[in-house]
Chain A
Amino acid sequence: MDRLKKLNIPKSLWILGTIIIILIILSLLSDFLVPYDPYETCPEHVLQPPSSHHLLGTDAHGRDILSRIIVGSKTSIFSAFALIALAAGIGTTVGLLGGYFGGKVDTVLMRVTDVFLAFPDMVLAIAVAGILGGGLVNAMIAILATTWTQYARLARSSTIAIKEETFIQAAKLSGCSNMRIMLRHILPNIGGPLIVTATLHVSGMMMGIAGLSFLGLGVKVPQAEWGSMISEGKKFLQTSPWVALAPSIVMVLVIMVFNLFGDKLRDILDPKSAEK
């Protein structure tokens, strides 16, 4: 806690952090918070404009859009978190091993990374998700295949930069195992930029999953998810624009909160790379 105080965290970060925590709690409790059952179709109330009964209107199956947005938040937010945890885990491991051991290990790992980097990201994701056949898990695998490389490169370059420092030499001389040096001495010191990247990545991951769902390669119908809701709403853009616009606006607002939080966090943890 003392260390946190010393960092002198600005108020804005606290506020944004609180908003994010509220969002997470809301999405966790989404099943109990929804005014209507998000999956209950109602033929009498098809495509109703926003009203006091249905705050954001209803979709082509008469489902309440607000309820679907709330339930969909769980999919969007948690799949983004899970993706980042996996990508950062895999990428950091690869980068740390390559950077620390160097030589052949590094060459092989970096060649593999290069191959994945050579694909334009969404192109690979679309192909992987398309061939594996859609579904949230497959969509996540598809995006994972394109994101872990960023962490690998970042972790590798930071590890190489720090490897020759005297405290690492000291740890080596005092007989620490390689494993211990990597986990206890290097990892905490390269963590800052990795955490910043991960935070700034949240919105990108949400966009990626929603993008694949929009193309019909993400979550399967009828599961509520923002991208697939927007995609469904496209058909009714002319007559009932709220079907597509309501989830779009919510999604953009949530992304903005995460972006702002990431920017502020970067200013604190990684001031060198902060924009002017």
Chain B
Amino acid sequence: MNMKKNIIKRLVQFIPVLIGITFLTFSLMYISPSNPASVKASAGGITPSKEVVEEIKEEMGLNRPFLVQYVSWLGNLAKGDMGSSYITDEPVIDKLMVALPYTLKMAFLSMAITLIFSVPLGVYMAAHKGGIVDFLLRIFAFIGNALPNFIIGIFLLYLCSYKLGLIPVLSTGGWIGVILPSLTLALVMSTRYIRQIRAATLDELSKDYVIGLRARGISEHNILFKNVLKNIMVTVITLTGISIGSLLGGTVVVEMIFNWPGLGHLVMEAIGKRDYPIVQGFVVWLSVAFMLVNLLTDISYTWFNPKIKEI
């Protein structure tokens, strides 16, 4: 099949990008103003002597040439070994694995909320263009577009936890705690989704086949649900693919506001302690995940729209 060939081609194209990603991530530590060896040496809380730092530097292989260090780091990475924390000496992968489910839970829930609300609303707005709902939601989308995620988060925290007392302020990592952070992320995404889905539906409704169906007396309801909805799925998928990137970044901010023990929380803590292997692991992981999501998005295009052959 042609499709298989395309997927393989895309996977091959991944390789140089992957090398680039890992190279950049690794160099980040190199350009950092603080020396990893002294961070590690002072993890115990005592300022280390120069000799101790030098010893640790040798032990960590930091005296080797840059490229040698990179290749050995990359080799370990390929085996799934991302090094270990400077502070606690735990493997980075273990720490990431503990935090990952929390972030995934939040990301999935926010994506689900977004889709459940924006697809019907966007389609409804287009079908009843110029109506009161359309008007109000367009204002909502415009205001929402100007709201950064941390402001929405702060506002929801203020409203739901302090004013209304609906949800405990400090999250416990359980299901109740995930609602507000997910809602924050969902609100950020929904504003864009609603606008785009409305535009895509309007676009679709003005096409010849819709006029043809109307002329044959097919009900508006059937046209919307049987034909239009299927065709705007490509837009929905594109949106999903694009927003995964900002969703992953958004989780960091939201996790900090709501004290949610996910990857973002972990990485911010690591940044505070200059625990760079965790930061590197975080960046590499999320970037690879992002690339895979993009690949899946492209593949699913062909599924929804067989006319698209080349991906």
Contact = CB atoms under 8 A, between A and B. Distances in A.
B91 interface: no
B22 to A, nearest CB: 10
A63 to B, nearest CB: 19
B252 interface: yes
A123 B252 contact: yes
Interface residues of B, number: 53
A11 interface: no
Contacts of B256: 215
A252 interface: yes
A120 B20 contact: no
Given A112-B20, A115-B24, A120 B249 contact: yes
A207 B151 CA distance: 10
B57 to A, nearest CB: 18
Interface in A190-218: 203, 207, 210-211, 214-215, 217
Interface in B215-249: 244-246, 248-249
Contacts of A131: 28-29, 31-32, 271, 276, 279
A255 B143 CA distance: 10
A115 B279 contact: no
Interface in B176-233: 195, 199, 202-203
A41 interface: no
Given A123-B283, A123-B287, A251-B151, A215 B252 contact: yes
B249 A122 contact: yes
A118 B32 contact: no
B249 A130 contact: no
A230 B25 CA distance: 30
Contacts of B157: 234, 237
Given A111-B20, A120-B290, A215-B268, A248 B155 contact: yes
Interface string A25-43: 0000000000000000000
Interface stretch (A165-173, A180-188, A238-246): A238-246
A80 B227 CA distance: 43
Interface in A35-70: none
A118 B249 contact: no
A211 B158 contact: no
A206 B150 CA distance: 13
Contacts of A251: 148, 151
B17 interface: yes
B122 interface: no
Interface string B265-286: 0011001000010011011001
B contact patch SS? helix
Given A122-B248, A245-B158, A127 B282 contact: yes
Interface in A100-152: 111-112, 114-115, 118-128, 130-133
A245 B162 CA distance: 14
A2 interface: no
B311 to A, nearest CB: 15
Nearest to B245: A120
B32 A133 contact: yes
Contacts of A128: 28
B199 A276 contact: yes
B80 interface: no
Given A120-B244, A122-B252, A215-B256, A241 B158 contact: yes
Contact of A275 (B31, B199, B291): B199
A157 B280 CA distance: 33
Nearest to B162: A238
A6 B37 CA distance: 65
Given A131-B271, A215-B256, A237-B158, A120 B151 contact: no
B257 interface: yes
B100 interface: no
Given A131-B29, A237-B162, A252 B146 contact: yes
A127 B25 contact: yes
A111 B32 CA distance: 25
A42 B146 CA distance: 33
B20 A115 contact: yes
20 contacts: A111-B17, A119-B283, A119-B287, A119-B290, A120-B290, A122-B248, A123-B252, A126-B267, A126-B271, A127-B283, A128-B28, A131-B28, A132-B32, A132-B33, A210-B150, A215-B253, A234-B154, A251-B148, A255-B148, A259-B142
